[in-house]
């Protein structure tokens, strides 16, 4: 591709590693770079969507914010996969619990991602596409979590286009189908990865339990989800 830098990423191809960790919050990307990566440098600050590259235990890794919602992560992951030769993107995000057995700070691996988004319509498929994680990334993340002595849950998540739904029963309906948690990006990431022939995984930490009326602060979401960060870095 010749359109580098892109309208959204002001980096050279060689500035970005083959594996990118992608939190929604760019300040979480900055936190990871400052606390876990060695010799890191900032490769992007366009629209304040910060991106950094450094090394973790000798392996080159990048971390970059992806924003909120499928349209946002859809842009950044598309450009990384198709213009910057990224092979793997691991989303490390927050989610709300849907299943009553999922609690605050639990780690959820998104094996699949249901969605109410129309993102897949662009592919003109003769049916319904089921966005799923890359099996090898998922297995590696599970193995890394076990090696770190961390508990986790694996299952289906919901990537919702709306944060404030006009349907007050929507999450209850998804709960009936065994959905573990709701977030806003995984399905779009998984679709972009599938179309590009690349690999993707979504690792989530529960920040809210809407049915229980529980939630964590913005500061907690930015800085305290280190278990999820460690799993992603070990998987990378």
Model confidence over 14-26: pLDDT tens digits? 999 999 999 999 9
- Mean pLDDT of the region 183-207: 98
The whole-model pTM stands at 0.96
Helix 26-36 to helix 226-235 angle (10° resolution) is: 70
* Domains, the chain, with CATH or none: 13-235 (3.40.50.1580)
Whether 208 is a known active-site residue: answer: yes
- Average pLDDT over the chain, rounded to whole? 96
d(CA 33, CA 60): 12
The set of residues, in sequence order, having a beta carbon less than 8 Å from that of 145 and lying 6+ positions away, is 107, 151, 152, 231
Among 132, 136, 137, 142, CA closest to 108 = 142
By three-state DSSP, how is residue 72 classified? helix
Q: How confident is the model at residue 222 (pLDDT cuts 50, 70, 90)?
A: low
Tens digits of residue pLDDT in 114-131: 999 999 999 999 999 999
- In the chain, % of residues over pLDDT 90: 94
Torsion of CA 149, 158, 99, 199, to 10 degrees: -20
| Catalytic-labelled residue, pool 100, 208, 220, 227 | 208
């Amino acid at each position: 591709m010749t359109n580098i830098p892109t309208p959204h990423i002001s980096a050279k191809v060689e500035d970005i590693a083959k594996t990118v960790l992608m939190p929604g919050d760019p300040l979480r990307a900055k936190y990871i770079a400052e606390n876990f990566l060695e010799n890191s440098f900032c490769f992007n600050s366009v629209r304040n969507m910060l991106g950094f590259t450094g090394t973790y235990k000798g392996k080159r890794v990048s971390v970059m914010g992806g924003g909120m919602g499928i349209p946002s992560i859809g842009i950044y992951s598309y450009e990384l996969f198709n213009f910057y030769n990224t092979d793997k993107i691991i989303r490390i995000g927050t989610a709300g619990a849907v299943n009553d057995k999922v609690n605050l700070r639990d780690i959820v691996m998104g094996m699949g991602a249901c969605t109410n988004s129309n993102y897949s319509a662009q592919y003109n498929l003769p049916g319904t596409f089921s966005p799923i994680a890359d099996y090898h990334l998922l297995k590696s993340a599970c193995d890394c979590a076990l090696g770190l002595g961390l508990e986790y849950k694996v299952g289906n998540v919901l990537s919702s286009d709306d944060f404030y739904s006009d349907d007050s029963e929507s999450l209850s309906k998804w709960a009936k189908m065994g959905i573990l948690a709701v977030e806003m990006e995984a399905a779009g990431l998984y679709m972009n990865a599938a179309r590009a022939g690349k690999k993707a995984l979504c690792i989530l930490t529960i920040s809210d339990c809407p049915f229980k009326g529980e939630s964590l602060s913005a500061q907690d979401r930015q800085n305290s989800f280190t278990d999820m960060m460690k799993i992603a870095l070990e998987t990378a």
